[in-house]
Amino acid sequence: MNGKTVDIKNLSEFVILYFAKNGIPINRLKLQKILYYIQAWHMVYFDGNPLFEDVPEAWVNGPVYRSIYEKFKMLGSCDNLNINGDYSIDVDNHFEEIKNKMNLEEEQYDFLNDIFNHYALMPHEKLILLTHIEKPWNQAREGMGPFEYSDNKISHKSMCEYYKQRLEKSKQLEK
């Protein structure tokens, strides 16, 4: 099964709504890392196929999807995201609308739930630290200083290979 692809902006709204439905705060730093881990693990579990076409850049605070950065850049890095500032929105209905709009396969929604179950409660600082100790971000920033600007891309290939190796190692440890 290859899975369907979606627009990253719809997926980011889906993530924000999921977090809102479950009472979990999310800021733009955390959103970026959640999107990164969704993409990385999706490629591992769905035969190397990305969930969305955007490629992350290796910024100082970890992987960043520029289109999502642009969408939320007016907010502070640690400001909680809400749905377009509209507190009157029916989160449950809007969640279902976005879910229907994305029209993913059931296995992909199950996969997203697994990702949320693993990463959602982690603070953004921990997610940043995780990406900083992992190979794809470090490869893309090779030779750069810790606070040096970068728009270097983190390749889908490096993400898929690294997380696939991690999965294989964890399976070996379970034996």
Mark residue 62 as left, alpha or beta (left: phi above 0; alpha: psi -120 to 50; beta: remaining): left
Other CB atoms closer than 10 Å to residue 172's CB: what's the count? 8
Helix axes 8-21, 91-102, angle to 10 degrees: 150
Which SS3 state, helix, strand or coil, does residue 134 take?
coil
pTM reported for the whole predicted model: 0.91
pLDDT, one tens digit per residue, over 94-124 is 889 999 999 999 999 999 999 999 999 999 9
How far is Cα 123 from Cα 76, in angstroms, rounded to an integer? 16
pLDDT, one tens digit per residue, over 58-74 is 999 999 999 999 988 77
